Structure 1
């Protein structure tokens, strides 16, 4: 007890209080002895209590108080009972022990002592049994783990706090006192104990407790039972036991309990501090011992845990369980717990376990953490009802560290053996202010997809799980790594990655299944990615696609019908790739109106498909894009009836369009083009190709344009476009500047050198046969436009050109009529005009007439409005049929300037054409030609041989029986020589010339008469000179010989047409207004000397036509 003196130290008060207790107890015993002696005198009261009188009670109280300095003792009553066996018992009722100040120290309702009668007669009390009733005791455990004892109503502490070993020593010392040598038992009933634990911060009250102390055969044993009031909805009962050999510090003690709160046990037993995480009633027993040194020995515990929850703090969500059981042993020396058995039964998990745990941080007697190693068996788990049925696992090995305050479980490793595979887990489980916080990591060598699904709770990332269930048909899953995070301040996070082999996966509904897949899958931050390192899919046609590198990405698996992207990487045949693109719901090739067998070759494609993971996905809900390369491409369907080949083509596609581009060949024709095909509904069956194609002779032959061999030389890259529409022939257009391309069109005598340029436009349709609806050509003086029809096999059927202009010598419609393969077409010129002044007739039909060699030309039919021969001379209504094989060869008719009908023939001559023109009315021909308008009748035979420049001919004219009348030039000449009779003939019926012969050179602008003669009965005439076709003026000279039939005798010495006697003349001006000069002296000159009075005949090789060769006698075989 504390001294009232505030200045005294605690060390001085303690011995004083002990002395007072001893003195008070001795006084009390003395008083009791006195009362017993008195009572013995009352022998007649055997069996009945004899109550001491008031004076005796007061003396006993006084003596007891005197024996207890500073204390006061009060009794309510004191009585003595002597049993039939003369065994006296002393009973004290309402015993109060208090300090002098009146402060209560101890209150007992009843004390009964069985004492020795002999000792009592001697004035000594030797109690054999003691029975206490109504005692109130307060036990307090200090923060350092030692105990203070308080007795009385106010439960103030008494004495120095002691440890369990000290209590044992104190009990032994007490029992060794002589006064208690006869004591055999002490029984306490109606005991009230208030237990306060400062270390746990809690207090308990035990009411109606019973305690029995027994000494027998040198051993002391204590037993008791209590009802514990703990504020729960269930009652806790305790049974205590203690045994020890008197004089020995070794002791055994135990406690049995029923329905004791887990926290109450954890707060009192450091070895069981880990039970503090439970909120459940526990029944069981604890057994322990003290050794001779007073040290605590092994502690054995059996715990039967009732239904409750795991809940370290009020903030954590409770984890329920139905029951648990534990058999364990704690070794204080090693601070280690050995769990022989731990079993748990709950809706979350059921298991059996065994293992060891080491308590750490026991410096203050209370563990801070526990390190454990356990083996778990018969595991059936269904945490939070995550599974329809509990998941059963074979075995688990677990290493952990449990921090007790605050609660934190560090899982060093959990190795779960399941179906011969091991799952390794580690992580932490914390109970913070916000509730549970779990961080779990794991890895596993291998697992089957079926087991993955079985172990994957349906409520955790259900869409990802469902995707695996529905789309991962079979696989070998290995190298699994996982992580799980959850907490109040951390959103639920799942990480999962694994490798797989031999997988069959549906990565997008309706698309072909992936077979033999191997790759990697990752779920992180709600993003799920599956990537195939190898594998193949097999579309309906074309064989397998190697899809190594293909991946599926789901950006957020939490979203219903989550958006996803398939990144497709494939290597396959082109047919397989197209068949893949034509699979439902894509149908891109069907939309393009093309077959999946469009081409042969190899395809390397990178594609992306953005879609939603849902049933009933529609094509328009798929966003598609692709890029790739096609290698060693061959197709006979892209260009109908042609083989397209390319070493490398690029392909691109999206929802709107698919394109294939690159360089290749159609047959032997190079191209660089892009194929476009729209994929919208309105584009169904439509596509186009645009690019450049190389124009060459190979192009002509490949596309069977209809031009004869040799028509094209060189090369030109021409832009083109081909438009495909389902149900119709592909329409094409082509344009070219003709640079580098040589053209040779022999049927019009036109050619374009490779250095030339122009413009070519072609439009038509591909097919069998192809069709050319529009052909337009402008180049180097050539203009033509028209259309071309081809026959079966691609040969020319008909080409119709509305207007063909060749430089300035041809302007006419031209029609080409095919005559079969490798055969030149028939050329028809119907209308228009040809000007021979600027070309040769040979150029019209082509061919090579040099030396009469046969060529490869075809028939030529001319029906011209006009054939211009020279200046002022044209054949109108020209009709002719010719062969151009080897040059132009045929006959024709026409009228000179539309007035005089002629017929003729054309034959090849020196690469050009020679003409023979005949007429039955030479006079009309001369008149129409403007050469001699006054001539009448007569037969004409005119030969024109090509020479020199185009339009230049050496001519030979023969006219028989032609009449000349009213010719101004002739009249002037006759008047000049005063030949009156002949003049009168000229003015009358006219002069008859039986023979007219001439040799001349005809050029586009003039006629050079080298020699000519006209002879008749009345007159002979020779002439040479020049006649201008442009101006109609002439400069002629010659000899006129009257009376020629007589005068012709001298012609043997002169030129033809000249007689012995004649006049030299010179005639200039026009035919209508000639100016004639006559040399009268020439009549006296014999014919052989007449040349001295006239100039030499004109040289046809000077002036226009000077490039012509010297006149050669015409070859007989070339004469028309």
Structure 2
């Protein structure tokens, strides 16, 4: 046993020696390997230091390129990233930087949505040594990005949308709201490969933006974007240029502040000289700007809610010189500038206008109020309902008004349909001192141009103010007539209407009433005092009716002009014809005084005084003339009819008094006639007085008619027959020629029917049942002169003259 035990002990000792020898060999190998590794690291570090100091770039190793490509494609889960080459170099401070050339980003449909000529990223040295690619900042130059918006207003990162609006179904296209896009940015920067990035900068950025909702596209150039992120938020600012062909391109700058993990974000935009229609196409709150052709500068700030849609937005816009032109066919209406201070609440779809103003060479309008967006289609309103308070309104277009027109305030309710353009004014109130004007109507613009239909009314207005508000070229003849002939009046219940259609003659209509008016209805004639009545303008005809009014004649007293009508049959003609339907009642003296005014001069032409007779007259006249500065006699045509009552004249027939209960008067440019039955002295007469018009007949007139042939005639005309020579009563035809400044000449002829004659000295007699002939010619005067006395009958013919002494 002891030998065996010794043998075993020896064997164990030998094994222990062998194990110790192997352990010493392994320790020597470990020391060699560790020393070699340290040497390798030192050599690599020395190489990196030498390479970094050289400033040269090398092609990134394949493992690094593969790792970068995989990480980028992991970020773009629905697309694919490709590049031409990746280089590696060290920046100052031993900061490793990779450079990617020819970077291309495609979406799931294999459509290119971005190209970047050159991208560079600074890497974390610690992560790189550990085999990880962790960028800390990113720089991209000459990037070209494509962005599309679907017809439903959401954003699409592919080419699946037709800008013409004819794409088959936008529901098959992956679209995102602005908030969702920003939320996607948040999530992208939460991934390991982008989570370490602190800043991103893009220069020379080009954005090709196609908008199916607006049915057009934009190419935005000279873009620059900066992004900064921390653990809680991502801040992005981006700016572009828009080239409209102007010397100075328009610019647009946007900034976003988005909270990570949510769609909530802040959004700001600043524009300079951007076209109104471009802004209108992108923001529902500015859709109403789509009818303007003008540059806009300003700033807006909004929030994006959890739904990814714009929330409360506030902004200020300065509108440059431009025009209102809803379509190419409508004539542009120019303005100088405009301004809008506003806020927008998308939940109520309400725009609050703290100020909305427009300035033109023709005036200024300043309002405040609110608008409601209605009839939304794919996020775009078709209608805006507006309620505005007018703070300032002044109108002074060159050559339109005689003087600037200003209103002290007002209010308006309206509805604007954007396309096709239609502005409905439900009611607008313009305050003008104590008066208020009510306006309603509509303005439209279609393929034929502008169309306007407006109605206005005012309870009361001063004539001077009415003329001041009346455009100089709108029915100018009517305006001129009111200005020159309505001296004072209370005009009330005024209603006006205007209809304008492009390519057609404007149509204007108005109705009004007046009282306490002084109106001149014809030059050289006295004005109508205390007039009351009404007037209309319809179908190009102006009509003014005097329901009550007085005319004070130059002589003879006051005439009642109730019922007189003034009318211009065609208000568009220069120097238009006018018709006066004159009605007047009053003293004959006053009427004759009026008829003797220019251009009639009836009594002067007749050589008769205006106080030819006393009594009353009811007169109607239709007078035609032209409204020109100087009216000649031949420019006036008239037809006068009148009834004279209780007439008495001691001037018509020299030395005789003419009286009548009723006479008729007619007058025209050719003739004046007064007719009827009366008494010449005590002698009954039935006849007419005629006065031919014309210079050659001046002072000459004739009285013709029948007279009673009886003893009263013998006595009245001083025939000189003895008393009792005439019995019975017959008829005689008498003519009296009246000449100014001379005794009147007369001639009487009778058949002596029903007249008995006796000349005792001759023993001759003519019974009443027989006929004969009597002719008397003479001159009326004091005493009368009988130049011819002829008697025939019962076998007698006697002729002679009679000389009477006073």
* Alignment TM-score, normalising by the size of structure 2: 0.87
Corresponding residue of 2:128:
120
Aligned residues: CA RMSD:
3.1
**Is 2:382 the partner of 1:374?**
no
The secondary structure found in structure 2 opposite 1:625 is: strand
The structure having more radius of gyration, on CA atoms, is: 1
Write the distance in 2 (CA, Å) between the matches of 1:72 and 1:374: 54
Instruction: Give how far 1:103 is off.
Output: 8.2
Corresponding residue of 1:775:
789
Structure 1 residues 571 and 724, CA gap change in structure 2 (3 angstroms): same
Corresponding residue of 1:73:
82
Q: How does 1:977-996 map to 2 (within 5 A)?
A: none
Instruction: Give how far 1:529 is off.
Output: 2.6
Q: How does 1:1015-1094 map to 2 (within 5 A)?
A: none
The 8 Å contact of residues 494 and 526 in structure 1, kept in 2 or not, is answered as yes
Write the distance in 2 (CA, Å) between the matches of 1:49 and 1:693: 143
The 8 Å contact of residues 347 and 385 in structure 1, kept in 2 or not, is answered as no
Per mean C-alpha deviation after superposition, the further-off stretch among 486-495 and 701-710 is: 701-710
The 8 Å contact of residues 249 and 294 in structure 1, kept in 2 or not, is answered as yes
Instruction: Give how far 1:305 is off.
Output: 0.9
Write the distance in 1 (CA, Å) between the matches of 2:175 and 2:156: 4
1:375-428 Cα deviation digits (max 9, x unpaired): 112221123542365322211222222121121222222211113211212222
The 8 Å contact of residues 605 and 693 in structure 2, kept in 1 or not, is answered as yes
**Is 2:713 the partner of 1:726?**
no
**Is 2:414 the partner of 1:414?**
no
The secondary structure found in structure 1 opposite 2:656 is: coil
Corresponding residue of 2:57:
51
The 8 Å contact of residues 653 and 738 in structure 2, kept in 1 or not, is answered as no
**Is 2:489 the partner of 1:475?**
yes
Write the distance in 1 (CA, Å) between the matches of 2:504 and 2:403: 29
The 8 Å contact of residues 539 and 583 in structure 1, kept in 2 or not, is answered as no
Corresponding residue of 1:561:
575
Instruction: Give how far 1:47 is off.
Output: 6.7
Instruction: Give how far 1:229 is off.
Output: 2.3
Corresponding residue of 1:590:
604
Corresponding residue of 2:536:
522
Instruction: Give how far 1:591 is off.
Output: 0.8
1:509-560 Cα deviation digits (max 9, x unpaired): 2222332222223333433333322222223211122222222222223333
Instruction: Give how far 1:589 is off.
Output: 0.8
The secondary structure found in structure 2 opposite 1:615 is: coil
Corresponding residue of 1:677:
691
Structure 1 residues 591 and 480, CA gap change in structure 2 (3 angstroms): same
The 8 Å contact of residues 60 and 88 in structure 2, kept in 1 or not, is answered as no
**Is 2:145 the partner of 1:131?**
no
Structure 1 residues 103 and 489, CA gap change in structure 2 (3 angstroms): closer
The 8 Å contact of residues 638 and 668 in structure 2, kept in 1 or not, is answered as yes
Structure 1 residues 57 and 262, CA gap change in structure 2 (3 angstroms): same
1:110 is aligned, of 94, 118, 121, to 118
Corresponding residue of 2:28:
none
The 8 Å contact of residues 541 and 567 in structure 2, kept in 1 or not, is answered as yes
Q: How does 1:446-595 map to 2 (within 5 A)?
A: 446-595=460-609
1:628 is aligned, of 598, 622, 642, to 642
The secondary structure found in structure 2 opposite 1:790 is: coil
Write the distance in 1 (CA, Å) between the matches of 2:118 and 2:243: 24
Write the distance in 1 (CA, Å) between the matches of 2:110 and 2:653: 125
Write the distance in 2 (CA, Å) between the matches of 1:554 and 1:159: 69
Corresponding residue of 2:362:
348
Write the distance in 1 (CA, Å) between the matches of 2:511 and 2:633: 31
The 8 Å contact of residues 113 and 146 in structure 2, kept in 1 or not, is answered as no
Q: How does 1:43-192 map to 2 (within 5 A)?
A: 43-46=49-52, 51-53=57-59, 56=62, 60=66, 73-81=82-90, 83-84=92-93, 87-96=95-104, 106-150=114-158, 160-192=174-206
The secondary structure found in structure 1 opposite 2:314 is: strand
* Alignment TM-score, normalising by the size of structure 1: 0.63
**Is 2:700 the partner of 1:686?**
yes
The 8 Å contact of residues 149 and 159 in structure 1, kept in 2 or not, is answered as no
The secondary structure found in structure 2 opposite 1:273 is: helix
Write the distance in 2 (CA, Å) between the matches of 1:132 and 1:126: 17
Structure 1 residues 531 and 59, CA gap change in structure 2 (3 angstroms): closer
The 8 Å contact of residues 57 and 78 in structure 1, kept in 2 or not, is answered as no
1:254 is aligned, of 268, 285, 300, to 268
**Is 2:667 the partner of 1:653?**
yes
Instruction: Give how far 1:726 is off.
Output: 2.8
The secondary structure found in structure 2 opposite 1:699 is: helix
**Is 2:457 the partner of 1:443?**
yes
The answer for unaligned runs of 5 or more in structure 1 is 1-37, 793-1120
Per mean C-alpha deviation after superposition, the further-off stretch among 50-59 and 116-125 is: 50-59
Corresponding residue of 1:820:
none
Write the distance in 2 (CA, Å) between the matches of 1:185 and 1:488: 59
1:592-640 Cα deviation digits (max 9, x unpaired): 1111111001111111222222223222332122111111101111222
Write the distance in 1 (CA, Å) between the matches of 2:238 and 2:104: 25
1:759 is aligned, of 751, 761, 773, to 773
RCO comparison, higher one (Cα < 8 Å, 6+) = 2
Structure 1 residues 48 and 782, CA gap change in structure 2 (3 angstroms): farther
**Is 2:352 the partner of 1:338?**
yes
1:607 is aligned, of 613, 616, 621, to 621
Structure 1 residues 592 and 438, CA gap change in structure 2 (3 angstroms): same
Structure 1 residues 587 and 129, CA gap change in structure 2 (3 angstroms): same
The 8 Å contact of residues 123 and 134 in structure 2, kept in 1 or not, is answered as yes
The 8 Å contact of residues 65 and 72 in structure 1, kept in 2 or not, is answered as no
1:347-379 Cα deviation digits (max 9, x unpaired): 122122111122221133222222212111222
1:158-178 Cα deviation digits (max 9, x unpaired): 982222233233233323334
Instruction: Give how far 1:194 is off.
Output: 0.8
Structure 1 residues 617 and 381, CA gap change in structure 2 (3 angstroms): same
1:297-334 Cα deviation digits (max 9, x unpaired): 22222111112222222333322222211111222222
The secondary structure found in structure 1 opposite 2:281 is: helix
The 8 Å contact of residues 531 and 547 in structure 2, kept in 1 or not, is answered as yes
Number of equivalenced pairs:
751
